[in-house]
Amino acid sequence: MAYPNSTEFTSIKSWALEDRPREKMLQRGRKHLSNAELIAILLGSGSASESAVGLAQRILNSTNNNLNELGKRSIEELQGFKGIGPAKAITISAALELGIRRQATPLVQKPKITQSADAYKVLVADLMDLPHEEFVVLLLNQANRVIDRIYISVGGVAGTVVDVKKIYRAVVANPLVASIILGHNHPSDNLNPSKADISITKKIKEAGQYLDITVLDHLIIAGNSYTSLADEGLI
C-alpha cells in the first residue's frame, strides 16, 4: 500500500488491521515489515498531521533509506525532524546501537543431539534431584539442534499428567521444529520405565506422525543416571 504522507494523511487507526505495523508483525512476523514500519513501532505515534510510518519514512528518506547512515545520526540530529522529541530520538538511537552490538556478539551454538547421552546433558539440569515428577520436551530442528524446551507438567512423587495437546501446540507454534525428545524424572531413583511411561510415549509418537514430527527418544532421569527408551528399543 502507499503510506500516507504529510499532505495526504490518514491515521494508522483507520488502516486495515493487516497494514498496521504492530498487527502486521503479530500476524506475519518481523521479516515482513519494511524499515519504515519497524521504526514506526519504535516511534509509537506520529503527529496530528503525519502517521508514525510517514514520519519514519521521512527520516529514512534523509539517509537514502540507508540504516548505516541513520545509525550515525546523533540524538540531537534526530530531534531536528519535526515530530521527534528527546524520547523518540533516544529510542531510535538505542535500537540502532543494539543492532550494532548484535552483529558483534558471537552466535551461541545450540546443543546438537546425536545420542541419548547428549539429550541427558541437556535435560539433567532441569530434572535431577527434584522431589516430584516433571515432564519436559526438547524441540529440535532439522539438524538435530535443540532450539527450545517446554515444561509440560509438574506432578507428585508417583507421577505427573502429560497433556499431549500442550506439547503439539508448542510444536506447531514453531515452524523450525522437526523432532522432539521427551524427558521426565523419577524421584524414587527407579530407572525402569513404567507401563504409563511407555503408553504416553507411544501416544505422543502417534500424534506426531500426523504432523511429520518425529519423537526421537524419551529419557527417564533418576539420581545421576538415566534410561533411554530409544536405546532400550521401546520407542
Pairing outcome for strands 179-185 and 214-222: parallel
CATH architecture of residue range(s) 116-228: 3-Layer(aba) Sandwich (3.40)
Residues 206-222: what's their mean pLDDT? 96
Residue 13, pLDDT above cutoff 80: no
Mean pLDDT of the chain, nearest integer: 88
Residues 170-190: what's their mean pLDDT? 93
Question: Is pLDDT larger for residue 223 or for residue 138?
Answer: 138
pLDDT score of 58: 95
Q: Residue 164: which pLDDT band, with cuts at 50, 70 and 90?
A: very high
pLDDT score of 148: 93
CA angle 145, 128, 154 (to 5 degrees): 85
Tell me how crowded residue 21 is: count the other CB atoms within 10 A of its CB: 23
For the stretch 62-92, pLDDT in tens is 999 999 899 989 999 999 999 999 999 999 9
Percent of the chain with pLDDT over 70: 89
CA dist 58 and 43 (Å) reads 13
pLDDT score of 107: 63
pLDDT score of 47: 81
For the stretch 121-161, pLDDT in tens is 999 988 888 888 999 999 999 999 999 999 998 765 555 67
CA dist 109 and 113 (Å) reads 12
Q: pTM for the complete prediction?
A: 0.60
